[in-house]
Amino acid sequence: MVIGCDSHSKIKTFNMKKTTQLYEGKAKKVFLTDDSNLVIQEFKDDATAFNNKKKGTIAEKGIVNNAVSCKLFAMLEENGIRTHLVEKLSDREMLCRRLDIIKVEVVVRNIAAGSLVKRYGFAEGTVLERPIVEFYLKDDDLDDPLMNEFHAVALGVATLEELAVLKQRAEAINALLRKFFAERKLKLVDFKLEFGRHNNEILLGDEISPDTCRFWDLETNEKMDKDRFRFDLGSVEDAYSEVQRRVLDLD
């Protein structure tokens, strides 16, 4: 049981409980609550990569990703970015505003890695003079294809005005996150964001965690994120808990 009140809209979260399960994704479950405006995200230890082709578990990942996401969303809110976070309810549960999710995954890249290297032939580690913002269609059946504004509008997943907001918001979030991680001796290589509509506003949703970002150690360039799982690099749990330690400023 948690007694709380979020600072923006004075939501009373006294004794907020999960009711019906709304959705189960690869890494999280989402539950309805007694308040139709609020949902609870529950973070799982299940890990998938390459759109479910590789499956496994990362012990305590759900706890790390919830803690890291709550801390980062709170930091972003303090800096004027509206998010779905209401409050952290427990180790694995985040109370959130309910969103109408926009079916666009927004990826921001500061350093070439992953699919950017594969698709365009950049050398891994190339520092991009200007961050690249990409849109992907959020559709597992189609393997989340890369798309531009024309595709998104034609598909009816977002309006041009909304896409402009997503791009501008993603760049602002990137500036805040880069500074936050640099102070914690991590390079923010790239990351994925999801947004949703809530009462005529666009809010940042989903999570920001080692599952959805690439982090390299500032000094050694050691990979500290889900790439350790994707490519069987070992020490996956250690990397996740080290990111948590740095993000939460523990010892």
Give the interface with ligand TMP as residue ranges (CB under 6 A): 107, 114-116, 144, 190-192, 212-214
Stretch that binds ligand ASP, among 48-56, 118-126, 147-155, 238-246 (CB under 6 A): 48-56
Stretch that binds ligand ASP, among 46-54, 166-174, 182-190, 202-210 (CB under 6 A): 46-54
- The verdict on 159 binding ligand ASP (CB under 6 A) reads no
**3-class DSSP state for residue 115?**
helix
Stretch that binds ligand ASP, among 42-50, 56-64, 153-161, 240-248 (CB under 6 A): 42-50
CA distance 185 to 175: 15
| Burial bucket for residue 247 (CB in 10 Å: 0-12, 13-18, 19+) | buried
User: What minimum distance in Å lies between the beta carbon of 218 and ligand TMP?
Assistant: 17
User: What minimum distance in Å lies between the beta carbon of 116 and ligand ASP?
Assistant: 14
Q: Residue with structure tokens 């005529």?
A: 200
- The verdict on 138 binding ligand ASP (CB under 6 A) reads no
Q: Residue with structure tokens 């500032």?
A: 218
Tell me which of 1, 14, 15, 50 binds ligand ASP, using CB under 6 A: 50
Comparing C-alpha atoms, which of 222, 247, 60, 57 is closest to residue 125?
Answer: 222
CA distance 27 to 12: 27
